[in-house]
Amino acid sequence: MVKMLTADGKLVEVSKEMLDQVKKNQRASNKEIYNWMNNPSKKNNS
Amino acid sequence: MKKEEEISNKARRDFLKTTAIATIAATACGSLACSCSSKKANVGEKVKLLSPDGEIVEIDSSYLNHQEHMAIVSKLEAREGIAGKKFVMVVDLSRCKNARKCVAACQKWHYRTEDKEWLTVKLMKDSEEGAPYWFPKQCFHCDNPPCVKVCPVDATFKRQDGLVLIDNERCIGCKFCMAACPYSTRVFNWSEPELPFDIKHQQYSPETGIPGKVGTVEKCDFCPDRSREGLLPPCVEACPNGVFYFGDENEDTVSNGDETVSFSQLIKDRAAYRFQEELGTKPRVYYLPPKDRQFPVERGYENLPDNLKERFKDVMEESNLLEKK
């Protein structure tokens, strides 16, 4: 299991196999992370 | 523009730092996986997550395991409370036999050691002739709380859902609240709490009181993090005799896990009272008198460890329930 964060700061766990399936090996840019954190719909993201 | 970039860089640094800690925790404590709740969200809802190597991935929410005790609300929301709720507790004294399961469950849930009891069970005796009875006592979350009035830094506060909480990040440890509380339900955290790695490094929330802070005051919080999820506090769930009822006064419903009853009817039928009500603090905990008790008081004394027996020895001897030595 890999521990990851949701945009609203919750700690969640995802299985490594699942993560490997969805990973694109593209590191997010500063702007993408900024947008992800400030996504207005983040309350519905968990 | 430059400022925005700085903010963006800072935000990225903060998040990567938190993620790195989470990753280390995952590596070091692989076995912790089983301690996570198995609550699943709706299938089909996509959630964007930040992976440990800085990639934003989209995963179906049904594949997520939520980590218990993680702060789920902002500081502001934690101070405001849950809208439309008015939490209340009813304690049925006729059912308590000092099994102490509530105390253990509370300590386990809040990662407190055995010497820190947010919930204690006292042995009460109202008059010389009267028989003693077991009396669980925790913070009463008063509607007119003296502790809130004396706090010089606004660290302890009353919420709209009736709960009195402490923000340990604001608390300066002056202990004014402890002196003001007529019920002595607050405890001071004298030493650095011993916590598992991931709990120690998780984001603090006044709703969970975790991670605990040395040099600050703590107390029962009625577990609002569980209430948000529609769960009963651990003390209520752990009690084998259904002593504690917890619920919402606005909905007029309380439950002890086994039965759900009308709050107003229960306190009316059983002539409920509030502890030292004459002080005008308006506690949110009601007691049902220990009438027709289900267990003899000795039952709660026999199997206690020696250090706990010492606490109650005087009252037991006075009541001729123990042989005087």
pLDDT, tens digit, 9 for 90 and up, residues B127-145: 888 889 999 999 999 999 9
Regarding predicted confidence, which is higher, B157 or B298? B157
Evaluate whether B252 touches B261 at the Cβ level (below 8 Å).
no
Question: Has residue B151 got a pLDDT over 80?
Answer: yes
Give the range of the structural domain holding residue A20, as residue numbers without chain letter: 2-44
Regarding predicted confidence, which is higher, A22 or A40? A22
Minimal C-alpha gap between A27 and chain B (Å): 5
For chain B, give the mean pLDDT.
85
CA distance B139 to B235: 13
- Taking the domain B75-288, which CATH number applies? 3.30.70.20
- Asked if B59 lies within 8 A of A18 by C-beta distance, the reply is yes
Question: Has residue B11 got a pLDDT over 80?
Answer: no
Question: Has residue A11 got a pLDDT over 90?
Answer: no
How many CA within 13 A on the CB side of residue B152? 5
Evaluate whether A26 touches B51 at the Cβ level (below 8 Å).
no
- Asked if B63 lies within 8 A of A18 by C-beta distance, the reply is yes
Per-residue pLDDT, B31: 36
Question: Has residue B232 got a pLDDT over 90?
Answer: yes
- Position B71 confidence tier, pLDDT thresholds 50, 70, 90: low
**Is ipTM over 0.90?**
no
| Chains A & B: contacts with CB separation below 8 Å | 119
**A23 touching chain B per CB within 8 A:** yes
What backbone phi and psi angles, to 5 degrees, belong to B88? -150, 150
Per-residue pLDDT, B29: 38
List, in sequence order, every beta strand (DSSP E) within B96-188: 120-124, 133-137, 156-158, 164-166, 187-188
Task: Collect all residues with Cβ–Cβ distance below 8 Å to A38 and sequence separation of at least 6.
Answer: none
All CATH 3.30.70.20 domain ranges of chain B, comma separated, are: 75-288
Residues of B in contact with A13 (CB under 8 A): 26, 33, 36, 64-67
Question: Has residue B27 got a pLDDT over 50?
Answer: no
CA distance B153 to B170: 7
Weakest mean pLDDT among B26-30, B101-105, B318-322: B26-30
Per-residue pLDDT, B280: 95
Q: Average the pLDDT over B86-92 and give the result.
A: 97
Region of B44 please: left (phi>0), alpha (psi -120 to 50) or beta.
left
What's the number of domains chain A is made of?
1
Q: Average the pLDDT over B210-222 and give the result.
A: 94
Minimal C-alpha gap between B22 and chain A (Å): 6
Minimal C-alpha gap between A11 and chain B (Å): 6
**CB nearest to A28's CB, from B26, B54, B65:** B54
**CB nearest to A33's CB, from B15, B23, B70:** B15
Short-list B285, B233, B202, CA closest to B22: B202
Q: Average the pLDDT over B238-253 and give the result.
A: 96
**CB nearest to B18's CB, from A5, A12, A44:** A5
Q: How far is CA B164 from the centre of its chain?
A: 11
The gap between the terminal CA atoms of chain A, to the nearest Å, is 18
Evaluate whether B124 touches B301 at the Cβ level (below 8 Å).
no
Which among A7-16, A20-29, B34-43, B161-170 has the top mean pLDDT?
B161-170
Regarding predicted confidence, which is higher, B219 or A25? B219
Minimal C-alpha gap between A20 and chain B (Å): 10
